[in-house]
Amino acid sequence: MSYTIDDTELARRSVQGFGEMVAALGQGISAETVVRRANALGARIEAAAHNPWFDAAIIPVGATPPDDDPRLPHCLWTLVDAVPGRVELPEIATPCMGIRLDSTFKTGTGNNLIIESPSLTELGEINERAYGETGFTPLVSALSDARVHTHGFRENGTFVSVALTLSVGDDLSIHYVATEAGHRRRGLASQLVYGILTAAQEEGMLSATLQASADGLPVWQRLGFRRVAMLRGYLRPDATID
């Protein structure tokens, strides 16, 4: 099968990667939490109720949004402009980013930092400190998906910058990039992601995708990621955000 990895395809891959990541988090807790339908992919995670990033599902690109159902998560994410029974929360909309790992992606000479694999617990704790996202470490520590890999840099024996990746076919979905407060503004996260992308290209992956925060958007653009879509979050009318 041949296909073109254009911006539309990168958007589809970014959305799919987000859904697969949430489903993997749910699977780590219990298979019963996972939502895997033709028009919804994610998990109904009670421990993260009212968190739009974890108690969430994506609507695959091209799918018709589902009617509301109590078995669906707190937040439904989609590229379209309406979801039955749901209200958009504009402030949580997030850009989908993508990059092709073909000949247009230029690898460099690298640096003297060695990428290692932190434990899931270490990755979770650094993310919690970086973003104030309490309760994340138990979720990520329970992951048991063979497609998941952790990456990080150490300084003085301790991990200070980390990221997690999930392989979805020939796309590398990047998540949970974080750097300890005392080690920021040195380009560690950029160097880490660049090393991850270089290794992914060498392994035959064709693209990498992610969802960017407002602060992270310029970093990803400097690395060559393009903004390919806007992912919008829809909640039930009476829902709240934690």
Using 50, 70 and 90 to split pLDDT, how confident is the model at 50?
Answer: confident
Establish how many alpha carbons lie within 13 A of residue 204's alpha carbon, considering only the half-sphere containing its beta carbon. Answer: 2
pLDDT given for residue 1 in this prediction: 42
Pick from 204, 154, 157, 162: nearest CA to 179: 162
Pick from 77, 82, 95, 98: nearest CA to 174: 98
Beta strands in 89-147 (DSSP E): 94-100
Distance, CA of 122 to CA of 128 (rounded, Å):
10
* C-beta neighbour count of 121 within 10 angstroms: 12
* Distances 47 to 30, 53, 55, 111, 179 between C-alpha atoms, Å: 12, 12, 8, 40, 25
Check pLDDT > 80 for residue 3.
Answer: no
* C-beta neighbour count of 161 within 10 angstroms: 28
Q: What percentage of residues in the chain have a pLDDT greater than 70?
A: 95
Beta carbons within 8 Å of 27's beta carbon, 6+ residues apart: 33, 34, 43, 144, 145
Output the six-digit token pair for 117: 């694999």
Look up residue 136 and give its amino acid: F
Q: Which residue has the higher pLDDT, 217 or 103?
A: 217
Check pLDDT > 50 for residue 22.
Answer: yes
Check pLDDT > 70 for residue 212.
Answer: yes
Establish how many alpha carbons lie within 13 A of residue 7's alpha carbon, considering only the half-sphere containing its beta carbon. Answer: 9
- pLDDT tens digits, residue range 78-135? 999 999 999 999 999 999 999 999 877 876 545 678 999 999 999 999 999 999 888 9
* C-beta neighbour count of 191 within 10 angstroms: 18
Query: What's the CA angle centered on 167, arms 180 and 44, to 5 degrees?
Result: 80
pTM over 0.85: yes
Q: DSSP state, 69?
A: -
